[in-house]
Amino acid sequence: MTRTLLTDRTALLAEIARRRLEEVRRRAGTIVGAYRRRGVAGVAVAVAGHLPRRLVSIEWYLLLETIPPGEPSVPLWPTTRVAGLGDIDDLVSVGQATREDIRARLEDGDRAYIAFDEGAPIGYLWFRSHHWREDDTEFILDDDERWAYDSYVNPSHRGRRIGPAVTAHAMADLHREGIRRVVSVIDHLNSASLKAARRYGARPAGSFVTVALPGLTVVHEHPVGARRGSWTLHRRSPIVRRPPARTGDRP
């Protein structure tokens, strides 16, 4: 009996050690990848991501803008339309948002475009007006701007250009409504999402770094085209900002 207990305990300790080693390897791989893509700044962001947020939080992201085209080309497939409260079950079945979250979004005025393949929901894309909270920054939007977020395609349908198709449908609608710009943010270390966003027609408008420490936040803003960025120190959150001016409107 004693031998059995010792064997079971040894096996348990070995499994714990294996899991911890795997976690260390995963984190090391993340840090090495961050260094290869973004150098020392990437390492700082990656390391901070593994620390308690109450101690330090570093966010480094690119703000992107998409200008709805004047004569958009809208693909015939997949069927895409604006979702309503009656589509909550379909929205839940597609992605990772909860029923309560989706209902709150719709009741607050957010808009979702949902795509279908032979009647089955396969993807969606969300938009918000007026304002958006990104970590410690509150971005204020003009009436003719929208914020794009939570783009999701069912894993079984990925690789079929569903994301670009849903985006094309949304942009066509927004253009007809007089929306001149759609903005969003993507983490600098998320190379795959940055590449996909550029395929959709998004282009950089500015880069932001926020370093949150107990009691204060340091922000670096660098609009695209500016010779240099600026550092500011803040003692309260959220920090209210407007997105950088549209690139075509800058001198």
Chain segment 102-115, per-residue pLDDT in tens: 999 999 999 999 99
pLDDT digits (tens, 9 = 90+) for 151-195: 999 998 988 889 989 999 999 999 999 999 999 999 888 888 888
Supply the mean pLDDT for the chain: 83
Determine the pLDDT at residue 21: 61
User: Is 50 exceeded by the pLDDT of residue 82?
Assistant: yes
Give one word for 225, left, alpha or beta, with left for phi > 0 and alpha for psi -120 to 50: left
- 63 and 208 Cβ atoms separated by less than 8 Å: yes
Can you say how many angstroms the Cα of residue 217 is from the centroid of all Cα atoms in its chain? Answer: 21
Is it the case that residue 30 has pLDDT exceeding 50?
no
Is the pLDDT reported for residue 242 higher than 60? yes
Q: Would you mind telling me the total number of residues written for the chain in this entry? A: 251
Give the DSSP letter of residue 84.
-
Please list the alpha-helical segments (H only) found in the chain: 2-48, 88-94, 99-107, 162-176, 191-199
53 contacts 169 by C-beta, under 8 angstroms: no
Q: Is the pLDDT of residue 134 over 70?
A: yes
The per-residue pLDDT for range 188-236, each reduced to its tens digit, is 888 888 888 887 789 999 999 888 888 889 899 999 988 889 999 998 7
Contact 125, 112 (CB under 8 A): yes
